[in-house]
Structure 1
Amino acid sequence: MPEETTTTTGRYLVLLEDNSAAAGAREMNRVAGINAAGAVESVTPADLEASDGIIFQDLGVAVVNAAPDQVNRLARAVDEPGPISVVEPERIVRALATPVQGETGAAQVDESVFTWGLQAVGATLSSASGAGIRLAVLDTGFTVDHPDFAGRTVLTNSFIKGETVDDAHGHGTHCIGSAAGPREPASGGPGYGVAYEAEIYAGKVLSNAGFGDDGGILNGIAWAVANGCAVVSMSLGAAVKPGTPHSQIFEQAAQRALARNTLIIAAAGNESQRPAKVAPVGHPANCPSIMSVGAIDVDRATARFSCGTVDTVGQVDVAGPGVDVHSCWNGTTPDTRHKRIQGTSMATPHVAGIAALLAQQHNARGWELWARLMQSARRLGLPSTDVGAGLVQAP
């Protein structure tokens, strides 16, 4: 597990100009002696670690292993005419959820049939199910033998070296459950999945310890785009200080994904301590072309931990249920197969599930899907800096 003070990996991300993957590979070799291979879809974690560099062609982004002098030469190339546009250090990211500790309240709502989150977003009243929509959740993986998903096809891929997609953490399984789990769980309890008939793509980009890096996330995004996923849900991130610029590389990757009809939705972050402190939206949710999700509780109040819009860099776009959220877990016994946790991590898959319902109902993709999510959100009487357009609603 990385130390709390560690924020970067030692690798670098290189943004290439549009449609210049081949030219970018040649230029990186010319200026820095880096031999970067192209990847049409995704690569194994071992290949990513062992190579000089990998270019994710659909995203126009390379992840490179470079010595300091090579990094300096790449940086100088940014200021010259050519395909190399931006160079950034690769960051460490983590899962964004915590156990429920006192801030519950769901007991106020009858959850005997459906969770309060499903009720709040109107999913239980919608005729849409997400059928035919490919929804990717990039997280700590998935508990592949969970009884609630018996008979469901779940396509999986691990982007963590030395770890299978099986979720020894639990966070990813919980998020997949909220986004696309069942309405009638085989192992009992209330229905908890928004897009309960969506086609699930589970990408493991966070380790069993709950940590990952930018390269693994980009690898997962490239995989989701190549597989035609309409929605990518990312309940992960890294905290930033106020005024920190958003990643130009993730912004361009998100724009290129949108051009390929894939909407990326990400958690705003959990660093606030309301009302005393409101922390800024974290990386990569602070990118303008990644939909940023804040969290509310059962009383439709902003969750105390939910990050908010504090400057001109990042903003909260919409909100979802994120406190005392019941979903599936990676347990092996009936009483450990479900759990209640909280975080913008829990709000994000609710939004992703609603996106899948809208995609099915309106055949909407990309920017149109973004617009429909924003337009259909319910205003809450809260500052837009905290909840954006409001609480997402099912069609």
Structure 2
Amino acid sequence: MPTKRSNPKRTQTQSNSAARTSSTVEEMLLAAQASGSDSMETGRFIVTFKEGAVDEGIKAMRAQSMRTADARDFNDQSVELSGLGDADALVFPEIGAAVVGAAAAQERGMSAAAELASDDAMQIIEPEYFVFPEGSEDYLRGFLRAAETIARDLGTTVAVEASPGEEAEVAGNTWGLSACRVPASIRNGTGIKVAVLDTGFAIGHPDFVGRAVVSATFVGQPVQDLHGHGTHCIGTALGPQAPAGATPRYGIAFRGSIFVGKVLSNSGGSVGGSVLAGMNWAIANRCEVISMSLGGAGPVQAAYTAAGQAALQRGLLIVAAAGNGSGAPTGYPANSPTIMAVASLDSNLRPSSFSNRGKIEIAAPGRDVFSAAPMPRRYATMSGTSMATPHVSGCAALWAQSSPALRGMALWNRLRATARPLPFPASQVGAGLVQAP
């Protein structure tokens, strides 16, 4: 059957001049701000191919004189869109999807409303959307703040969000690790690759001295984290067992392999194409756990679902934040059926007031979470489903270490089967509180 999707209006300026395949995140955010539109669409499109039809799809696109780049032509499939020059499209072969520039799509009659023939290699064409960290503020505020930050050209001055007056527990373990029974676990994540797709990482952080870090950027900026969100998430999932001094233990898989994919810019904004590029890279590198504390409010998107399915088929697991819309429906990419959606809990193990509801697989500590931050601050306390997600990712790494059979869907099922039941609806906490092995 032909596939159709409605296509809300967008300005011509946003669609063409700022929505090339090689446009930077900043260019598209600024164009969206200048247009005055509250649409989360960037103007570009995401094409999802039918299963097994990637090469056929590439041939079809090139047959239409579309200049098409393939991530397989880049080392480790690490490709940054702004470096593509005059390419009309970039294909993510691990996922089976591609991002297409607005002008190239328009010239060839490609749109979200286009009808696709039954023998077409394309399964669906959807708008590309903006993406933001799942912090404690709503999507629109995050969107406007990111755009305003870029417009003011503040560069490195974006601050880590912290709860006023909240610092660390002074000894032992953070409340989140204790709730997840991490301190009692004999596992440490050895041999397990954990990819955190976020704002990057504070390279040189004292708590990570001697740890190997594999990194790639997908937003045209160095991996160095000038925002703080990514470092905080990496700290929870992969931080040290024994930080210096009286600092409590805040990291779970302290011997896991750290893979950093910078898919959110230093301003905190991004686009679907950059996120998919990071997911494609993490899958190509066979990272057993892929952690994503990012998203937006919107419908299920085929490309994210395809990415989740591709990961599961390769024995990998994608974990994503449900979002912080104060009970709104779970946002993308966590709303995809092939991606594990994580809700947030407060220290009393009740659902956080900001945590989204609906499609939820599991819950984890997300309120007042202490973890790493870029120097000179070193540590910060933050709240959000963003903070809950790396608790699940870290525990997933421990479970994956415990048995080579626990990969992909088997790991998904084990996390849910061993979760601590909670007296709340599954739409709020899923199977319950994640537990370490």
- TM-score, normalised via structure 1 length: 0.90
- Residue 231 of structure 1 deviates from its aligned partner by 0.5
* Equivalent AA in structure 2 for residue 232 of structure 1: I
Alignment correspondent of 1:52: 88
- Residue 102 of structure 1 deviates from its aligned partner by 7.4
Which of these residues, 237, 255, 264, is aligned with residue 318 of structure 2? 264
After TM superposition, list the pairs within 5 Å mapping 1:56-205 onto structure 2: 56-67=92-103, 69-70=106-107, 72-73=109-110, 76=114, 78-98=116-136, 99=161, 101=163, 112-161=171-220, 163-186=221-244, 188-205=246-263
Q: Structure 2: how far apart are the matches of 1:388 and 1:48?
A: 41
Alignment correspondent of 2:385: 344
Preserved contact between residue 52 and residue 64 of structure 1 (Cα < 8 Å): yes
Query: What whole-Å deviation, never above 9, does each CA across 1:323-378 have from its counterpart, x for those lacking one?
Result: 0000000122xxx1100010000000000001100100022111111111110111
- Residue 33 of structure 1 deviates from its aligned partner by 3.6
The 3 A distance-change label for structure 1 pair 316 and 200 is same
Which of these residues, 30, 40, 46, is aligned with residue 7 of structure 1? 40
Q: Does 1:255 align with 2:313?
A: no
Alignment correspondent of 1:206: 264
Q: Structure 1: how far apart are the matches of 2:107 and 2:62?
A: 10
Q: Structure 2: how far apart are the matches of 1:86 and 1:287?
A: 15
Q: Does 1:367 align with 2:405?
A: no
Q: Structure 2: how far apart are the matches of 1:186 and 1:56?
A: 42
Q: Structure 1: how far apart are the matches of 2:295 and 2:390?
A: 14
SS in structure 1 opposite 2:433?
A: coil
SS in structure 2 opposite 1:357?
A: helix
Q: Structure 1: how far apart are the matches of 2:311 and 2:176?
A: 28
- Residue 50 of structure 1 deviates from its aligned partner by 4.1
Alignment correspondent of 1:275: none
Q: Structure 2: how far apart are the matches of 1:301 and 1:255?
A: 31
Query: Larger deviation: 6-15 or 353-362?
Result: 6-15
Q: Structure 2: how far apart are the matches of 1:238 and 1:308?
A: 14
Alignment correspondent of 1:36: 68
The 3 A distance-change label for structure 1 pair 301 and 203 is same
Which of these residues, 370, 375, 400, is aligned with residue 331 of structure 1? 375
Query: Larger deviation: 74-83 or 245-254?
Result: 74-83
- Residue 197 of structure 1 deviates from its aligned partner by 0.7
Query: What whole-Å deviation, never above 9, does each CA across 1:90-110 have from its counterpart, x for those lacking one?
Result: 110001113455797x99xx6
5+ residue gaps in structure 1?
273-277, 310-314
Preserved contact between residue 139 and residue 203 of structure 1 (Cα < 8 Å): yes
Query: What whole-Å deviation, never above 9, does each CA across 1:185-221 have from its counterpart, x for those lacking one?
Result: 1365101001111000011000001111111111111
The 3 A distance-change label for structure 1 pair 170 and 376 is same
Query: What whole-Å deviation, never above 9, does each CA across 1:221-263 have from its counterpart, x for those lacking one?
Result: 11111111000000000023xxxx4112211121012111221
Which of these residues, 305, 312, 331, is aligned with residue 354 of structure 2? 305
- Residue 44 of structure 1 deviates from its aligned partner by 2.3
Q: Structure 1: how far apart are the matches of 2:86 and 2:362?
A: 39
SS in structure 2 opposite 1:279?
A: coil
The 3 A distance-change label for structure 1 pair 382 and 48 is farther
- Residue 19 of structure 1 deviates from its aligned partner by 2.1
5+ residue gaps in structure 2?
1-25, 137-160
SS in structure 2 opposite 1:88?
A: strand
* Equivalent AA in structure 1 for residue 346 of structure 2: D
Q: Considering only aligned residues, what root-mean-square deviation do their CA atoms show, in Å?
A: 2.0
- Residue 42 of structure 1 deviates from its aligned partner by 2.9
* Equivalent AA in structure 2 for residue 94 of structure 1: F
Alignment correspondent of 1:219: 277
* Equivalent AA in structure 2 for residue 149 of structure 1: F
SS in structure 2 opposite 1:305?
A: coil
Alignment correspondent of 1:358: 399
Q: Structure 2: how far apart are the matches of 1:70 and 1:295?
A: 44
